[in-house]
Structure 1
Amino acid sequence: MGTRLKEARIAKGFSLEDLQDLTKIQKRYLSGIENGKFDMMPGPFYVRAFIKQYAEAVDLNPDEMLELYKKEVPETELDPVQPVSSAPLRSRTIASSRNRFAEVLPKIIVALFIIVAIVAAWTFWQHRAAGPDVNDEPESDVTSIQQNNDVKPPSEGGEPGEDNETDTPPPEEEPAEPEQTQEVAFVSTNGQTSTYTLTGTEEFKLKITATGESWIIVTDQDGRELENKGMIAGETLDYDFTDQSSVRVRIGSTPNASLTINDQPLEYAVSPNEPGGVTQNIVIQFTKPQ
């Protein structure tokens, strides 16, 4: 198997450094695959993932290479079971904060209700204490006020008592600003890389969910690698990239991984079932509203 992969690499004109840049697999692991030194790998799962990416990069059938690998390595070393990693610390922290908030919320509601009741009672009492007593006013003053209200002031150029109507246009209502709506739009595909834009929202929260075995590499806008790990079915990764302008996610097995942006599922522009759609790079460019 290693010989066939190496011959295909040389036929493509790739050096180990070129293949390292293309697959993001360290050169020493690529050399180990070519020379059959699988004991230097992190584990059997990673060996299969590396072989699959290597084969796709040099246009060989990944399944055929994996079958050759199984024939070359004893079954005792082919352990497909991977330990389930603990949930990310970020998810546990959020869950703990929500639980504490749920415990405190009823107390906050009761306290607000008491404060509103006290303010309403105080306002009502102030209004009663400051209001004048109509019965204490002299009767003559009440009569005079009523007579004055019956007499209309003279209008300019008219007789006393005539209505002075003025045509005052009603104030114009300002048009309401349209509500912003989140939009995830596909831009283009270049090789294994598909680019999308995220607009119409103030936040950028990304969730990666594995439905089977896959390999995930997450890189931020500055090119820093935030995640490089294998995932198994049921495992999730949560990130808050609100302060980032772009994010890159490399998926080793796209059919076994799904992406969600602010609870909106991302639809792959290149179908995972198409040739070349198994391993994809997803680039998301985020632009906040002005």
Structure 2
Amino acid sequence: MEIGKRLREERLNQGLSLEEVKSETKIQTRYLTAVEENDWSKMPGNFYVRAFIREYAEVLGMDAAMLLEEHKNELPQTSDVSYDYVSTPSRKESRSGNIAFFSFLPKLLVFLLVIGIIFGIWYSYVNFVHPALTENDEQSGSEEGSEIIAPDVDEEESNEEEEATDGDKASEQSEGGNEEQSEEKIQPSLSVEEVDEDAATPLTTVRLTDAESLELEFEIDGETYLWVHGIEDGEVVESFADERVYTSDDSPLTIEASGSNDFVELNIGRASVVNLKISGTEFEYPIDANEEVHQKIHILWEPSES
């Protein structure tokens, strides 16, 4: 018996309809019908035949691996194309403003320390050394018949205090400006909440904070089936992109997925050929995309208060 007939027979034995299988697998009905009819020409590509059969079998509680092995001669051959997976370090841009400020802080402290030392030397000179020299000069001048006029110390101290006050104000303004600039440079932050490799389709849940909008940018090097859905109360309430096969001709693909949904669900049929940025932050697959090419990503979005 062909693999498609076995799946159909098991589905009917369990009293399930194609719509119920579609609801569980998120695979469109026309592809499920093609699987049951062993009609691989209706598939979006040979790569998806095994993936769709595996999900179909798992919903029915069948051993997908054994089923594929027993009927491997019926399945179309896929070309062995190797894709190099390059792990790109995450950009922790949300801390860049703080790092820049704290790297500048030691220089500011050194500068203030030098100013303080110079002021201390000047103050000691004006109040202790200079009066002593003046007194000696007066005594010497009276002996020689010359007149020595001492500088007005109070006026010089007043001028220096005004200059020091102006300097302190300038430093405070500089520090305030750096803090404002640091706040302006706050960037979206992306963190992994949960990774479920045992799900029918491996699932990663991430949280996006301090982002004014949820923007997805896909760089595709090959072909992949893709959809982006808004989910509320477990139901699809919004579709942000066409459900279809995308190729490198569609790259780069930018999708605006902002909304009041509980979360946004990404279904990537071939993660090994897709590089993803979420609101400008590069996303690293916690699950190896070369081993688990079909992956789902749930994005919990917390918009920035600004």
Partner of 2:215: 205
Paired position in structure 1 for 2:267: 250
- Which of the two has greater helix per residue? 2
Whether the aligned pair in 2 keeps the contact of 1:53 and 1:252 (CA below 8 Å) is: no
Q: Shift in Å at residue 270 of structure 1?
A: 1.6
Q: Report 1:198-237 matches (<5 A).
A: 198-220=208-230, 223-225=237-239, 226-233=241-248, 235-236=250-251
Instruction: Quote the offset at 1:29 in angstroms.
Output: 3.5
Q: Which residue of 2 aligns with 1:70?
A: 76
What is the TM-score of this pair, normalised by structure 2? 0.51
Which residue is equivalent to 1:260? 277
Question: Which residue, out of 24, 27, 33, partners 2:26?
Answer: 24
- Aligned CA RMSD, in angstroms, stands at 4.0
Taking a change above 3 Å as real, the CA distance of residues 23 and 50 of structure 1, as seen in their structure-2 partners, is: farther
Match of 2:243, SS state, is strand
2:270 is the counterpart of 1:270: no
TM-score (norm: length of structure 1):
0.53
Contact 1:272-1:278 at 8 Å conserved across structures: yes
Matched length: 199
Deviation of 1:233 after TM superposition, in Å, equals: 4.3
Q: Secondary structure at 1:287's aligned position in 2? A: strand
Say if 1:215 and 1:228, in contact at 8 Å, map to a contact too. Answer: yes
In 2, Cα distance between equivalents of 1:283 and 1:6: 31
Q: Which residue of 2 aligns with 1:147?
A: none
Indicate the SS of the match to 1:255: helix
Return the offset for 1:34.
1.4
Give yes or no for contact 2:189–2:281 (8 Å, CA) kept in 1: no
Change (3 A) 1:15 1:44: closer
Q: Does 1:287 align with 2:287?
A: no
Cα pair 1:48 1:66 within 8 Å, conserved = no
Classify the secondary structure of the residue corresponding to 1:33. Answer: helix
In the alignment, structure 1 segments of 5+ residues that lack a partner are 72-77, 81-161
Which AA in structure 1 matches 2:190?
A: V
Q: Which amino acid aligns with 1:210?
A: I
Residue identity (%): 22
Aligned-partner SS, 2:219 = strand
Query: For 1:242 and 1:215, how far apart are their aligned partners in 2?
Result: 18
For 1:38-53, list aligned pairs within 5 A.
Answer: 38=39, 43-46=42-45, 49-53=48-52
Greater RCO structure (CA 8 Å; 6+ sep): 2
SS in 2 for 1:224: strand
1:143 corresponds to: none
After superposition, give the CA deviation of every residue in 1:216-260 in whole Å (9 maximum; x if it has no partner).
112135632222111234542523427435432101122232212
Shift in alpha-carbon separation, 1:211–1:17, aligned structure 2, 3 A: same
Q: Distance in 1 between matches of 2:45 and 2:225?
A: 9
Gaps of 5+ in 2: 59-63, 80-153
Question: Structure 1 pair 66/257, CA: closer, same or farther in 2 (3 Å)?
Answer: farther
**Residue 195 of structure 2 corresponds to which residue in structure 1?**
189
CA contact (8 A) 2:226 2:266 kept: yes
Matched-pair contact (CA < 8 Å) for 1:209–1:234: no
Change (3 A) 1:70 1:50: closer
Do 1:9 and 1:58's aligned partners in 2 also have CA atoms closer than 8 Å?
A: no
